[in-house]
Every structure is written in structure tokens, then in C-alpha cells.
Amino acid sequence: MPRQDGKVVIVTGGGKGIGYEVAGHMAKLGAHFIIGCRDDHQGLEAIRRIQEEYNEAKVEFKYLDLASLQSIHPFVHNFKNCELPLKILVNNAGVMLLPESSTENGFELHFGVNYLGHFLLTWLLLDTLKFTSKSGNFSRLVNVSSSAHRNGQVQWNGLKSRECFSAHGAYCHGKLAQLFFRSYLQHKLEQSGFPVSLCAVDPGMVDTCLYRHLWTPLCLAHILVSRLLFKTPAEGAAPVLFAALSPALEGECGRGYWANGRRDVTTPLTFDPHIQQDLWETSQRFLISQ
């Protein structure tokens, strides 16, 4: 990948796993990198390790809890006060297979973190991405997705009522919502003529801490299977880095959904413009009401 000197990048959940690998690689290429995560120790340790490996790395940690809408606003406010351009935003953080629980704003946790928190973060940073793109090539917005979206269901009105809760179903639901958001926002950007490309990347099955909430017998099986079949975090980061940095994906070429390193097609449901708009407007109502 080409050098990224002078480019400012934000990644959510960059304290470990795929996010950490993305941060380390971009820092090596000269990018000014900002890691946003909710674990202070983990975030600062990630900074220390990256700077230890790359002496000239420009890496910062800023506290960001996507389960708290009230945490996202000061994160964005502090970033904008620095008056930095924003060339790349990587929405990487996520939770999976958690027991039934809610964000502090009352939303189901998978939906709140994986989708709604990133919706708000992206919306608040969009003007900076647009402004940065005016001074050069396209700015890029990369959402880390999952093939699990194919099992998701459209049920925006029931987000706070979780009868017959399924952790796997909740994860699929959030990932599906994320793809509706990507499609609708990309359409709005194209209509407005803003040079910001937005893509979703499925990194495949990666051996990260996302699986730590598996039922105990499955957790033991996962330990054995993951060593044989799962990608390492560095391997999982490769398609994310490709989407964020590759010159071949400049402009319109960088849009869409990518899986296993190649362009793919999401479930047909995600192409429905009425559902896209319904989710967009519903999400805005949720955020306004907080």
C-alpha cells in the first residue's frame, strides 16, 4: 500500500483484534491515527505497542463508548477542536453473542453498539469527511460487516422489546441494519456530489475476542477449530486495509460490499429503498429523542 503521510484516520475498537492490526499498519505507512475505544488501559497499551514498534508513529487514543450516545458527542467534539482533516473512518468496533442487555439509552446492546453508535459517529463526522475530500482525492468510510447480515430481520419498531431474545439473531439484526445504512448514505452522497466512498467489508471468520461469550462447550470447540480454520487478526485486517487504502478503489470503485477480498452482493433485502429510508428516519428519531 502507498504511504499515507499527512492523512488522518479514525478507527473504532482499535485496542485489539482487527482494529489494532489496522492501526499498526496505517501508522507504519505514516498516517496520523486515532484509536477510539472504551477501555482506557487497552487503548493506551495499543498506543505503547505501536510506538514501540514504529518510533515515528503518530497514534492517539481517545475514549469512545459506542454503547453510550452521550460518549460519542464529546469524542467528536474533541476531534473537531483539533481542526484536523479526516481522510478515513473505519467503523470496526463490535460486540457479538452477548447475553440479553441494553445500552444506557435503552437499546438492545448489539443494535446499539454495532449499528446505532456507528450511525451517530458517522453522521457527526460526515461534514469533516466531506470537507477533507474537497482538497484532494475521495475520503473513505469503511464499515466492518459480516455475512451474518443474511440472517437478519427487519424489525425496527421492536428494538427496545426483546421477547424470545436470541444473541445470534440480535447480532445478525445489527449487521443487517448497518448495510441498509451504508446503501442509503451512499445514495445521498452520490446525489449531493460529495466525493466520499463508502463500503462494507466482511473480513471472514477471524480469531478475535468476539467469540468469548460462546456457551462453554462451544467455546472449547472454538479454541480447537479456530486454530485450523479461522484467520488471524492480521489476516482479517488485510481486506479492511485494502478497502481503506488501495489506489485501485479510488472513487466509485471503492463503493459496495466486499467479502473474501472481492466484490460481493448483499442479501436482496438491502436494496429496498423504502426499508433503507425507513431505517434512516427511525434512527434519526431515536437519536433526537435522547
Is the distance from CB of 54 to CB of 27 less than 8 angstroms? yes
Per-residue DSSP letters for 21-66?
HHHHHHHHTT-EEEEEES-HHHHHHHHHHHHHHSTT-EEEEEE--T
Is the distance from CB of 75 to CB of 63 less than 8 angstroms? yes
β-pairing, 262-264 with 256-259?
antiparallel
Q: Which of 20, 171, 184, 257 is catalytic?
A: 171
Give the number of C-alpha atoms closer than 13 A to the C-alpha of residue 279, restricted to the C-beta side: 29
Residue 211 annotated among the catalytic residues of the structure: no
Chain centroid to CA 66: how far? 11
The whole-angstrom separation of Cα 109 and Cα 32 is: 31
Task: Show the cell assigned to 174.
Answer: 445489527
**C-alpha angle 145-148-150 in degrees, rounded to nearest 5:** 105
Q: Known catalytic residues?
A: 171
